[in-house]
Amino acid sequence: MPTTPVAAIAAHAGRCVCTAIVALVLALATGMATAASTDENALRIGSKRFTESYILAELLAQQAAPHLRTPAQVHQGLGNTAIVYEALRAGQIDLYPEYAGTISQEILKSTQPMGLEQMHQALAPLGLGVAIPLGFNDGYALAMRANDANTLGITRLSDMARHPALKLGLSNEFIGRADGWKGLALRYGFPQLPIGLDHGLAYDAIGARQVDVIDIYTTDAKIDSLGLRVLEDDRHYFPRYDAVVLYRLDVPNRHPQAWAALQALSGRVTEPMMIAMNARAELKGVAFDVIARDQLAALARPITSASSATAAMPSTDGAPRGFWAKLFAPDLSRLATQHVTLVAIAVALATLLGVPIAVLTMHHPRLNALVLGSSGLLQTVPSIAMLAVLISLLGAIGTLPALVALTLYAFLPIMRNTATGLAQVNDGLRMAGKALGLSAWQSLRYVELPLALPTIVAGVRTATAIAIGTATIAAFVGAGGLGERIVTGLALNDRDLLLAGALPAALLAFASEALFELVERRLRRRA
């Protein structure tokens, strides 16, 4: 029999892979289209991944709720500005709470201050608008422990430049923002090199004296509780970050009554109110929806001043829920089901793609190395970066980008183990099959794949373990799973909530290992 040319095999492999990918995309697209059709009229509200944004998203959703035919969908903790803004542009959410300074400098890349009307005009060609100034400014600032500031004589940012030994722990977003660290360092001539930290974890770090200076939001609840001093921006680097609503221009027409209700919030949320709400979440462990409900109730009552509106909120919230209450909260079954479903589908898709590709390329080392090398490069891409790229490419948030990312991460160990298992099949057994008159396909089906099966299963086992851990990133794009607890715990700096998300994920990984161990034992017995 003549040898099949490499090009022909590659073309055949390409057709198989394309067919599989098209089928995958069509299946997912059909599922998402079905879901979208049922929620076509829903108002979709997003938030960033920090306490205040969670609260404001709930505030907007509850304010609009009485005027909607279907409940508003709240997609919490989608990530930083880039991810949430991309979701808004793609039409996956309808609006989210944003800040004027972020819109002008980070989104519109303006070097000059912009008014609300100017920003609205600049956003209009993109189908977006900005409206509803809520009434408070939540600006960026740098803060350090007050006793250290007193000892060093630091009250202003310009004073900080004289102390190069200070250790700075800044949020990664602040370091990379157009209105963040780089411009600030140039303005003040800072010699320090910051390290990147999660915003919530930075408070732990400064409290433990691991860093000396952190970036803060001026409405953060922990500024006073940790005894921090907010350093004066004496060279006026930071713009105002007035809280506003960034929205798609079709929202007022789709939901006119709800939009009118949202506009009634204009100027009603003061800075003391926002600090009080953040404090209830971060220091007392009150749920975001409860905080929003109480604040709206307070706003509905007659008040004489901003302070009285703040005081109208419950003065006591009771003790925060303990670890066991958070672990076995009512959302456990829902989040665990979402997590398992994402993992199962991603591993199944990776298997359906990885095994055939390994089979088709096993006799062609260069082609095999090319595929393995390409998939290996994908594994080096950080998960958050992968999600940001996929949101842009797919024009979607939620399940689709999460599934694609998990499938890509699970693909490599399955394909590699399949190739290894097939390569370890004894040539004598192949020759025996040929002598018995088996075709190449029959030899593959009845000889090679059965002998390689234990190694293939080991690859699926590894891929499943990777997927269970990586699936926590799904929460960053609104796909659910146990990562929701982890993301919220990071935003609140709540160790119990972090553990309440991490522990079930670890138990799932343990259960999958036990299951695969049983499968591999049975395969070894049959062999």
Q: How far apart are CA 473 and CA 17, in angstroms?
A: 26
For the chain, the distance separating the N- and C-terminal CA atoms, rounded to the nearest angstrom, is 32
Please give the average per-residue pLDDT across 365-374, as a whole number: 80
State residue 248 phi and psi, 5-degree precision: -80, 140
Interval 495-509 mean pLDDT: 90
Asked whether 152 and 163 are in contact (CB, 8 A), the reply is yes
Distance between CA atoms of 443 and 466, rounded to whole angstroms? 32
Q: CATH topology for 140-230?
A: D-Maltodextrin-Binding Protein; domain 2 (3.40.190)
Looking at residue 137, the DSSP 8-state letter turns out to be: B
The answer, yes or no, to whether residue 141 has pLDDT greater than 60, is yes
Whole-number average pLDDT of the chain: 85
- Find out if CATH 3.40.50.1980 is the number for domain 40-136+241-320: no
The token duo for 384 is: 């958050």
Query: Exposed/middle/buried for 136, CB within 10 Å: 0-12, 13-18, 19+?
Result: buried
> Tokens standing for 333?
């079954």
Q: Is 214 left (phi over 0), alpha (psi -120 to 50) or beta?
A: beta
Query: What is the Cα–Cα distance from 485 to 482, expressed in whole angstroms?
Result: 6
Compute the distance between CA of residue 507 and CA of residue 327 in angstroms, rounded to an integer: 12
**Which 3-state string (H, E, C) describes 298-327?**
HHHCCCCCHHHHHHCCCCCCCCCCCHHHHH
Strands 228-230 and 168-171: unpaired
In the prediction, which pLDDT does 59 show? 97
Listed range (32-36, 88-92, 509-513) with the worst mean pLDDT: 32-36
Q: Spell out the domain ranges in the chain.
A: 6-31+329-526, 40-136+241-320, 140-230
340: exposed, middle or buried (C-beta count within 10 Å: 0-12, 13-18, 19+)? Answer: middle
Q: How far apart are CA 185 and CA 162, in angstroms?
A: 13
- Label residues 422-448 b or e (16+ Cβ within 10 Å = b): beebeeeebeebeeeebeeeebbeebb
Token readout for 175 is: 């370091």
Residue count of the chain, please give it. Answer: 527
Share of the chain above pLDDT 70, in %: 88
Q: Quick one: three-class SS letters along 206-241?
A: HHCCCCCEEEEECCCCHHHHCCEEECECCCCCCCCC
**One fold for 6-31+329-526 and 40-136+241-320:** no
pLDDT digit string, tens, across residues 409-466: 999 899 999 988 888 888 777 788 777 778 777 888 888 888 888 899 999 999 999 9
**pLDDT confidence of 39, banded at 50, 70, 90?**
low
Among 29-33, 68-72, 82-86, 229-233, the minimum mean pLDDT is found in 29-33
Fold of 6-31+329-526: MetI-like fold (1.10.3720)
pLDDT in tens, 276-326: 999 999 888 899 999 999 999 999 876 554 444 454 455 456 545 678 888
pLDDT for 148 equals: 95
Predicted confidence at residue 246, as pLDDT, reads: 98
Of residues 509 and 314, the one with the higher pLDDT is 509
Section 51-66 average pLDDT:
96
**Residue whose C-alpha is closest to residue 339's, from 503, 516, 514, 518:** 503
pLDDT, tens only, 333-366: 999 999 999 999 999 999 999 999 988 888 788 8
